[in-house]
Amino acid sequence: MPGSMTANWRWNFLITGSKMKTVRSIKQMQKLARQYAGQKMTIGLVPTMGFLHDGHLSLIRRARKLTDVVITSVFVNPTQFGPGEDFKAYPRDEKKDIRNIASAGGDIVFIPKAEDMYTDDFQTYVAVEEITKGLEGSSRPTHFRGVTTIVSKLFNIVRPDVAVFGMKDYQQAQVIRRMIRDLNYPIKLMLAPTVREKDGVAMSSRNSYFTPAQRPDAVCVYAALKTARTMITRDGVDDPAVLRREMKKVIGSICPSAQIDYIAYTDFDLLTPVKRITKNCICSLAVRVHGIRLIDNMKMR
């Protein structure tokens, strides 16, 4: 029975020799994946870049309920960072990540080396076209090619039955969903809700960049989203331009130095711009707060 902790522990112990295992070799991970599949065990994959917070752990717990074996990858992927972005500064804490994954019910932590994932002569990339052009794609033109390439490689290595992604990176999840469909991966993608701090700020590894004095200003992103949804649901406003203007005011009132990359109202499935707010509409935005780039989104109805 998928998700059965007793059966899961028994098979995991027989195959790996321990309750949770850290794997760094691609070949070893592929071998274990084949063994699990040979035992007719379902595999869940949670891809991460590490420095895990409760949002990541909620994905692992969800995968735990859905599958027999939960594999969490920890890999800061260089190909999804553009020039001048924070690849080298991106926070890392491997030992803490391993402890947190174990506490959330993970079975394997896959931590490959960059030189193994991308050899010196690496030249093969996976690109999803139209759905990557807007939102994050317009601000970070090489980002999604890096995302789809690394996720495709993880799919090929781990061979999951289920992959779990978070709603906070909604465009990313839709891009992966399209890649799964177009490349005929036999994988079910599950989308988990955004996990938020007490003040509503979406949990993110980059939140650690804020100083204590700066951190309260991060709420401007969530406050803008809540304001827009209230205008839609209570006041009947359905014009994206009107909503964007009000959201900009809210952001500026909380953090006058904030820089808005985009505020977009799009179709929930296609991510194409909408002229009027409907039940199938999502608002996504990216804002630099004290130089730290935050993304968030909210279904508007």
Q: Structure tokens of 127?
A: 């690109």
Backbone angles phi, psi at 134, to 5 degrees: -95, -175
**Tokens 């491997």 map to which residue?**
94
Q: Which residues contact 180 (CB under 8 A, 6 or more apart)?
A: 163, 187, 189
Q: Structure tokens of 260?
A: 């808005």
Task: Quickly list H helices, 21-160.
Answer: 26-38, 54-66, 94-104, 114-117, 136-139, 143-158
**Tokens 């321990």 map to which residue?**
18
Shortest CA distance to 235 belongs to which of 194, 277, 199?
A: 277
Out of 53, 56, 143, 290, pick the active-site residue: 56
Asked if 180 contacts 165 with a C-beta cutoff of 8 angstroms, the reply is no
Asked if 189 contacts 177 with a C-beta cutoff of 8 angstroms, the reply is yes
Q: Which residues contact 109 (CB under 8 A, 6 or more apart)?
A: 20, 21, 22, 23, 71, 72, 73, 74, 97, 98, 101
Integer Rg of the chain from CA: 20
Whether 290 is catalytic is no
DSSP one-letter string for 205-243: GGGGGS-TTTGGGGHHHHHHHHHHHHHHHTT----HHHH
Active site residues: 56
